[in-house]
Amino acid sequence: MKPTGKLFTIGLITFWYSSNIGVILLNKYLLSNYGFKYPIFLTMCHMTACSLFSYIAIVWLKVVPMQTVRSRVQFAKIAALSAIFCASVVSGNISLRYLPVSFNQAVGATTPFFTAIFAYLMTFKRESWLTYVTLIPVVTGVIIASGGEPLFNLFGFIMCIGATAARALKTVLQGILLSSEGEKLNSMNLLMYMAPIAVVCLIPAALIMEENVVGITVALAREDLSIVWYLLFNSALAYFVNLTNFLVTNHTSALTLQVLGNAKGAVAVVISILIFRNPVSVTGMLGYCLTVIGVVLYSEAKKRSK
């Protein structure tokens, strides 16, 4: 790879890390520390930004070729994926109100476990016995981390598990529903179609479940204009998480992406502890490390089984 190509890839990975970790930390700050306790409205802001920026990137800037929805059946499939995607993001944001980022990331690392379960239940796809064995430390690590988490909250834990399971379900369903050549969409085009559907679903949910959230947000903005900038910056970051993930996938190998993804969770944990100074226990950190080791072994087992 040429030096300029290396610099571009390093810059891309840095931006990917920054946007991923930044949106998690800012979500935590807004929902927990700042006191903006409206995760559904926050998710709606994210999806609105994703709708707008996706359209600009694909239709105007031609970042990727535009792919069209070819039938009502395909649109229905995209809508179903959008609903699951919404459930995942909302549940994840709710969990950040009650759990520290470090523990949230530990639970989120169990995604391969749920992916393997849903893949088996929905497609009867069996992995090698070694792949299933590697899932044992993934789950065991979270159990240990849960027992050693000083700020453990049952409701937050359930929401985090729900977000992780929904994320895995979306991955499996996406492979099933959009498997034919005529229906396949790259992640950026899929986001462009899913995000507006998500906004339509989230508007009534926010108005009903988070009563007077618009009025409260306006009142907060009059008292402290920084909330507007927080929401705008956070929403923009939510889009760039998806954009940079797509670009990093295209500019690196699958193995590199797996290694970077595993390391990203660890970096997020360290940074969140330094910023929010949430208490951590040796047991909790050992549990998280065991989960990460399990995820690495799972990735390696999957690679060898192909």
Of 44 and 265, the structure prediction assigns the larger pLDDT to: 44
The backbone torsions φ and ψ at residue 288, rounded to the nearest 5 degrees and listed phi first, read -65, -45
Confidence at 127, pLDDT banded by 50, 70, 90: confident
d(CA 39, CA 31): 7
Element (DSSP H or E) covering residue 107: helix 101-108
Q: Does 146 score more than 70 pLDDT?
A: yes
Confidence at 189, pLDDT banded by 50, 70, 90: very high
The span from the first CA to the last CA of the chain, in angstroms, equals 27
Classified as helix, coil or strand, 93 is helix
State the CB neighbour count (10 A cutoff) for residue 155: 12
d(CA 147, CA 197): 39
**Average pLDDT for the chain:** 91
d(CA 50, CA 192): 7
Q: Does 1 score more than 60 pLDDT?
A: no
Quote the pLDDT of residue 285: 92
Q: Does 291 score more than 60 pLDDT?
A: yes
Q: Which of 299, 2, 291 is nearest to 149 (CA)?
A: 291
Q: Does 53 score more than 80 pLDDT?
A: yes
d(CA 152, CA 146): 7
Q: Does 36 score more than 70 pLDDT?
A: yes
The backbone torsions φ and ψ at residue 253, rounded to the nearest 5 degrees and listed phi first, read -80, 165
Q: What is the CA radius of gyration of the chain?
A: 19
Average pLDDT (241-269) is 80
Q: Does 219 score more than 90 pLDDT?
A: yes
**Furthest-apart CA pair in the chain: how many Å?**
59
Quote the pLDDT of residue 2: 52
DSSP secondary structure, 248-266, as one string: HHHHS-HHHHHHHHHHHHH
Quote the pLDDT of residue 126: 84
Question: Are 148 and 120 in contact, with CB atoms under 8 Å apart?
Answer: no
d(CA 297, CA 131): 8
Amino acid identity, residue 105? Q
d(CA 121, CA 106): 24
Question: Are 157 and 99 in contact, with CB atoms under 8 Å apart?
Answer: yes
Lowest-confidence segment of 155-159, 177-181, 216-220 by average pLDDT = 177-181
Half-sphere exposure of 7 (CA within 13 A, CB side): 3
d(CA 158, CA 28): 17
Half-sphere exposure of 54 (CA within 13 A, CB side): 25
Alpha-carbon distance values, 86 to 3, 60, 142, 248, 256 (Å): 40, 26, 24, 24, 28
Question: Are 82 and 88 in contact, with CB atoms under 8 Å apart?
Answer: no
Q: Does 269 score more than 80 pLDDT?
A: yes
Average pLDDT (173-202) is 92
**Residue appearing with tokens 């409701």:** 155
d(CA 202, CA 83): 10
- With 0-12 CB in 10 A as exposed, 13-18 as middle and 19+ as buried, what is 279? exposed
Amino acid identity, residue 146? S
Confidence at 194, pLDDT banded by 50, 70, 90: very high
The backbone torsions φ and ψ at residue 161, rounded to the nearest 5 degrees and listed phi first, read -65, -40
Quote the pLDDT of residue 4: 64
Average pLDDT (96-107) is 94
Q: Does 248 score more than 90 pLDDT?
A: no
